[in-house]
């Protein structure tokens, strides 16, 4: 299956990406962050706002993370030039005036305990990744584990909608069939539609907790960040797997555990327990597959009916704007690749012999 951006080692989708945890950037601090191959400095100004800028000073190239936050802006360490929160040079001490220079700033936002950066060329076109079920809710969040995988984030994402592997790897005693729905150009959900498993003692045991089908829903953002909603009818767990591309087409990921905010001290304590339980659920998800992502050379040469959701996800990723690792310019695939639209044909099991 040939693709234009999906699983290309230097391509990612224009969108929101996690940069660093909010708690690691105190007011008046500045930190170096390398995001998708680009060096940035991110600082929190006197107003508490996180500001992301290209890392190197237009005077002589010093890294801005060596500098000092000064009110709403930042001063370079080397010769103390000052830039405001829009990136305008507003003071060159040795000249006693400003110079008509502007450094590139990137839109930032904070959610689920994380600072996110919009890496697209224009102003943010789409919202920050969120759990659809909690779209309008205030949430508590806890950062889980940080991890590296030896393949592209697009491929790691697929695992959660690889229906067939739920039976082969996770021993789920029934077939899962997903219903997909595009929330917008950059977000797609896959929801389990099957009841099944009536012969299994385990499913019989948990059946009273599920009036209809077992709740299992994924939402993908920018082909790189996924949320999982899972659990019995009366209680749902929410986990976000926030991934970003590393050099050589690898993945760096951060798990974020999320719960709807509850009021008062009792609610806060209750949510600590919920988030702790959510961590156990997240660990369960991460187990079992870890090894395959160290060695996989993903190539869906022979899609079967059970791979339908994967094909839909690939098509969804292909429909988004691709950017290039390092430059964040529009991605164009290497010329040696023969490019054609992704294969739409999904074989039935009988066709695979």
Q: Contact residues for Fe ion (CB under 5 A)?
A: 159, 289
Gap between the terminal Cα atoms of the chain: 18
Q: Do residues 92 and 99 make contact, with C-beta atoms less than 8 angstroms apart? A: yes
List the single partner that 79 binds among ligand FES, Fe ion, none, CB under 5 to 8 Å by kind.
ligand FES
3-state secondary structure of 84: coil
- In the complex, the smallest distance separating the C-beta of residue 229 from Fe ion, rounded to whole angstroms, is 16
Q: Does 340 bind ligand FES (CB under 6 A)?
A: no
Handedness of CA 84, 87, 93, 98 (dihedral sign): negative
List the single partner that 72 binds among ligand FES, Fe ion, none, CB under 5 to 8 Å by kind.
none
Q: Does 148 bind ligand FES (CB under 6 A)?
A: no
Local structure of residue 247 (DSSP, 8 states): G
Residue 262's Cβ-side half-sphere holds a number of Cα atoms within 13 Å equal to: 13
Q: Does 53 bind ligand FES (CB under 6 A)?
A: no
Rounded CA separation 330/11 (Å):
9
Q: Does 286 bind ligand FES (CB under 6 A)?
A: no
Nearer to Fe ion, 81 or 216 (CB): 216
Q: Which residue has the tokens 């209750």?
A: 270
List the single partner that 289 binds among ligand FES, Fe ion, none, CB under 5 to 8 Å by kind.
Fe ion
Q: Does 97 bind ligand FES (CB under 6 A)?
A: no
- In the complex, the smallest distance separating the C-beta of residue 244 from ligand FES, rounded to whole angstroms, is 28
CB proximity list for 143: less than 8 A, separation 6 or greater? 21, 113, 114, 254, 255, 256, 257
Burial class (CB in 10 A: 0-12, 13-18, 19+), 100: exposed
- In the complex, the smallest distance separating the C-beta of residue 108 from ligand FES, rounded to whole angstroms, is 22
- In the complex, the smallest distance separating the C-beta of residue 92 from ligand FES, rounded to whole angstroms, is 8
Residues binding ligand FES (CB under 6 A): 57, 59-60, 62, 76, 78-79, 81
């Amino acid at each position: 299956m040939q693709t234009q951006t999906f699983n290309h080692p230097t391509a990612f989708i224009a969108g929101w990406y996690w940069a660093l945890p909010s708690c690691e950037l105190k007011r008046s601090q500045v930190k170096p962050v390398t995001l998708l191959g680009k060096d940035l400095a991110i600082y929190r100004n006197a107003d508490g706002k996180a500001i992301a800028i290209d890392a190197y000073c237009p005077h002589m190239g010093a890294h801005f993370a060596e500098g000092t936050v000064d009110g709403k802006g930042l001063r370079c360490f080397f010769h103390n030039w000052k830039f405001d929160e829009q990136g305008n040079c507003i003071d060159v001490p040795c000249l006693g005036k400003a110079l008509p220079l502007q450094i590139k700033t990137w839109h930032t936002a904070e959610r689920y305990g994380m600072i996110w950066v919009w890496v697209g060329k224009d102003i943010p076109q789409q919202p920050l990744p969120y759990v659809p079920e909690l779209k309008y809710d205030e949430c508590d969040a806890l950062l889980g584990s940080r991890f590296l995988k030896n393949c592209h984030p697009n491929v790691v994402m697929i695992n959660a909608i690889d229906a067939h592997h739920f039976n082969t790897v996770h021993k789920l005693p029934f077939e899962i069939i997903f219903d997909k729905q595009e929330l917008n150009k950059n977000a797609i959900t896959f929801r389990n539609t099957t009841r099944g498993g009536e012969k299994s003692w385990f499913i019989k045991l948990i059946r009273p907790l599920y009036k209809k089908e077992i709740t299992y829903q994924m939402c993908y953002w920018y082909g790189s960040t996924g949320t999982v909603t899972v659990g019995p009818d009366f209680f749902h767990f929410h986990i976000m797997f926030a991934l970003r591309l590393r050099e050589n087409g690898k993945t760096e990921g951060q798990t974020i555990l999320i719960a709807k905010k509850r009021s008062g001290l009792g609610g806060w304590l209750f949510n600590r327990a919920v988030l702790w339980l959510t961590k156990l659920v997240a660990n369960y998800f991460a187990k079992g597959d870890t090894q395959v992502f160290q060695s996989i050379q993903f190539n869906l040469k022979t899609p079967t009916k059970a791979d339908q959701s994967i094909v839909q996800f690939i098509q969804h990723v292909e429909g988004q704007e691709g950017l290039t690792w390092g430059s964040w310019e529009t991605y164009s695939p290497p010329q040696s690749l023969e490019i054609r639209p992704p294969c739409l044909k999904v074989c039935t099991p009988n066709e695979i012999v």
